[in-house]
Structure 1
């Protein structure tokens, strides 16, 4: 278990101080293996808020307040390292979410957090503040309740595999020695092979024994788990630092301890510098290989390196083995082994007390003859009607209309044996003061401020801000995973921004003799306006076209309307309503005007 306790700069600090803090914190988090349980906690001075759009994997919707700039930084850090923010997951009263109260008791914020890596998310059972704790601070005590669940450790029937220090092969001397010893082993095996007839299994055992004995003699077993990018020179320096640390502990006098401490400090700086150099070289080598793969068109290798740099690991494939533990290389034997495995797994003995379940009838009246033309036509019609989501959105102007539509859909669904899930059915109200509930079978449906339909977020404001914000959040999370790639100078800009070649919309419009959708809408709009202007002056549609309501507009920026679009086009055409009414009487002239007026 790794616990990181920290204090972050406040929201008013300059950007350099914040960048320095989060860069240092990121370097500390990267030191711990992702398989370990890591807890990040402290005063981050970050408000993450209740909106988890784009951060669904690392936070819930039970935060407090609105997200600030520090909250954006903190959320990005957690998203990049897959750390779940515990205080946003569990529903509590606001007083149990508040971690800081201002001295005048007017401002309450949630700026202290406890995070845990996503792998161990289920170990946290609750996170809340304890307001009664007397800690002489304007912060409340934040407590997380955890229940660690460990996997059962099997000690029987399993052998512990020991790995060899293959990283030593990067050293030239070790590599040459390894080649010589392995060559001698294979020479002896070759002489044995010429002496008598052998089988494939015995050959494999001899080859395995030759390689294993060579690795054991030259490389030795790996005692610690090291990153693949750490070089032998760095490992030697780490061992030297370990020796210096032992010298500090065994020093008897202050002078000896001070001298040993000074030597340890020097070696420690060398180790850190060497580690940074190794990691930088490792990333640069991968980036160089990726650049070469991109230039050669080897997309598979390019994507594999990209996944490696973005830390998206895939579980390695394992060979199929027989019951005796021997590797099966024949495909038919592998398939037979899988059949044998699932037969043993699924064909269990019947229970002693079988359940009293009536057997289903077997003589069902099913027509197994060739389909008729009517059946084929019906099947095609059903296939054509499958291109819609399984959820429906009902739109109504009044609460009564919405209730009637809801009842109609519920009745139609029940007629074909379908039941509407009341817990997943939501109601969104826009620009209405009516709060009467919408019900299904007497049960009220939940009112929400936002909901997702066809992967787009719709909110009570009627705009696209929430949906754009969600897409930015998802893009940010994907972008942060490839941070090592964006920062690499070994990859050219063309490789980083390359996208599959596409044909621009302008070229498509030109090839298909089409016009942009905006221009098509404008032409149809003015075609309708000309039709309306040719109507009688007392016609309601013509009066509504130029009618200006005498009332006060709502506060805020006015939304775009059809009237505003028409006025913009009229300015471009340098026309007013009186001139347009005269020209609309000539249909041919009006078509020409609509075609050139932009």
Structure 2
């Protein structure tokens, strides 16, 4: 197992539960261990159930086929057991499921429920360092529509459908936290933008989104829906997999040692100055006159520095 560390950590908040894979690529998402100059695939998917082992196996196999590194899953309907590993069938790798229990209320939900959801999500974002690459993805149960003059910094021109009340909440949340709705920024045919299909076979909308901090938007290469991905739901999910491709350009940690500075201001105190002179005089008495000029200079420099360090010490900054 490799340990990849960078100066810029990454935080991902799932729309429900987060599947992290594989260990070799994303070792510890919360600690921000990602390789530099590497393509990563973040996804969201309302799978509607992961209760059975068959559902888990088929879902993770689809994620593996689509090279998904981190998947934010909605409506998994699993007890909050904290963490579990799900092996990809016929592959020597696994996904690791972390429960977060976040799922956006539907349009018909009471305003109080919606307020609680966004307040809790905002509290989680507030606890995220500003330098982190923040990804918030899942089933938002709202339509943002296309960008207009007021929302063009957050939305793109490729939103689907008319904006609804829940869509307004999504936009306000994104704007307040300097996020972009990546689905709406990438141009694709309509069937690659739609994320939800009604059982009536006619109605389709874009309600699953991947939100990314604006400072990282240049790292985003693509974002679209993938209708071919299969979930383990017996009747299939009415949502499709949404995947964003990001190219990490992270800076490596640079440990620059700060040069210590002597606190010479203390020499203004008479007792300190006297102690320094005595210490220095004793050290000079030990010098050997037969030494070369260069050796004497090195010894003088060493003695002065050590005497000052012992007497006045170093500044804190």
Give the TM-score, by structure 2 length: 0.52
SS in 1 for 2:146: coil
Residue 73 of structure 1 pairs with residue 169 of structure 2: yes
Residue 82 of structure 1 pairs with residue 182 of structure 2: no
Counterpart CA distance in 2 for 1:64 and 1:210 is 69
Give 2:12's match in structure 1, choosing from 3, 9, 19: 3
Residue 23 of structure 1 pairs with residue 119 of structure 2: yes
Give 1:190's match in structure 2, choosing from 269, 279, 288: 269
The alpha carbon displacement at 1:145 in A equals: 1.1
1:46 aligned partner: 142
The alpha carbon displacement at 1:151 in A equals: 2.5
Residue 12 of structure 1 pairs with residue 108 of structure 2: yes
- Sort the Cα spacing of 1:194 and 1:21 in 2 relative to 1 into closer, same or farther, 3 A: same
1:402 aligned partner: none
Query: Does structure 1 retain, via aligned residues, the 8 Å contact 2:272–2:312?
Result: no
Counterpart CA distance in 2 for 1:210 and 1:56 is 59
Q: Deviations over 1:123-170 (max 9, x none)?
A: 111000001111220001111111111125556xx42589xxxxxxxx
> Which is richer in helix?
1
1:55 aligned partner: 151
Q: Look at both structures and tell me which one has the larger radius of gyration over its CA atoms.
A: 1
Compute the RMSD of aligned alpha carbons. Answer: 3.2
Give 2:216's match in structure 1, choosing from 120, 126, 141: 120
Q: Deviations over 1:200-236 (max 9, x none)?
A: xx9xxx89x96856x59xxxxxxxxxxxxxxxxxxxx
- Sort the Cα spacing of 1:161 and 1:20 in 2 relative to 1 into closer, same or farther, 3 A: farther
Give 1:109's match in structure 2, choosing from 205, 219, 231: 205
2:245 aligned partner: 145
Counterpart CA distance in 2 for 1:9 and 1:21 is 7
Query: Where in structure 2 are there 5+ consecutive unaligned residues?
Result: 1-9, 16-102, 278-303
Query: Does structure 2 retain, via aligned residues, the 8 Å contact 1:58–1:78?
Result: yes
Query: Does structure 2 retain, via aligned residues, the 8 Å contact 1:35–1:119?
Result: no
Counterpart CA distance in 2 for 1:159 and 1:96 is 50
Q: Deviations over 1:343-373 (max 9, x none)?
A: xxxxxxxxxxxxxxxxxxxxxxxxxxxxxxx
Q: Deviations over 1:534-566 (max 9, x none)?
A: xxxxxxxxxxxxxxxxxxxxxxxxxxxxxxxxx
The alpha carbon displacement at 1:53 in A equals: 2.3
- Sort the Cα spacing of 1:194 and 1:42 in 2 relative to 1 into closer, same or farther, 3 A: same
The alpha carbon displacement at 1:55 in A equals: 1.9
- Sort the Cα spacing of 1:211 and 1:114 in 2 relative to 1 into closer, same or farther, 3 A: farther
SS in 1 for 2:222: strand
Counterpart CA distance in 1 for 2:314 and 2:273 is 22
Query: Does structure 1 retain, via aligned residues, the 8 Å contact 2:134–2:213?
Result: yes
Query: Does structure 2 retain, via aligned residues, the 8 Å contact 1:87–1:114?
Result: yes
Q: Deviations over 1:416-456 (max 9, x none)?
A: xxxxxxxxxxxxxxxxxxxxxxxxxxxxxxxxxxxxxxxxx
Counterpart CA distance in 2 for 1:40 and 1:161 is 41
SS in 1 for 2:269: helix
Once the two structures are superposed, the pairs formed by residues 288-367 of structure 1 within 5 Å of their partners are: none
Counterpart CA distance in 1 for 2:170 and 2:259 is 40
The alpha carbon displacement at 1:51 in A equals: 2.8
> Which is richer in strand?
2
Counterpart CA distance in 2 for 1:82 and 1:212 is 42
After TM superposition, which residue ranges in structure 1, 4 or more long, deviate above 3 angstroms? 152-155, 185-189, 192-197, 209-213
- Sort the Cα spacing of 1:120 and 1:191 in 2 relative to 1 into closer, same or farther, 3 A: same
Give the TM-score, by structure 1 length: 0.28
The alpha carbon displacement at 1:52 in A equals: 3.2
Query: Does structure 2 retain, via aligned residues, the 8 Å contact 1:85–1:113?
Result: yes
Counterpart CA distance in 2 for 1:191 and 1:52 is 71
Q: Deviations over 1:217-259 (max 9, x none)?
A: xxxxxxxxxxxxxxxxxxxxxxxxxxxxxxxxxxxxxxxxxxx
Counterpart CA distance in 1 for 2:259 and 2:239 is 50
- Sort the Cα spacing of 1:150 and 1:211 in 2 relative to 1 into closer, same or farther, 3 A: same
Number of matched pairs: 184
Asked which structure has the greater RCO (Cα within 8 Å, sep 6+), the reply is: 2
Query: Does structure 1 retain, via aligned residues, the 8 Å contact 2:11–2:135?
Result: yes
Counterpart CA distance in 1 for 2:149 and 2:258 is 44
2:230 aligned partner: 134
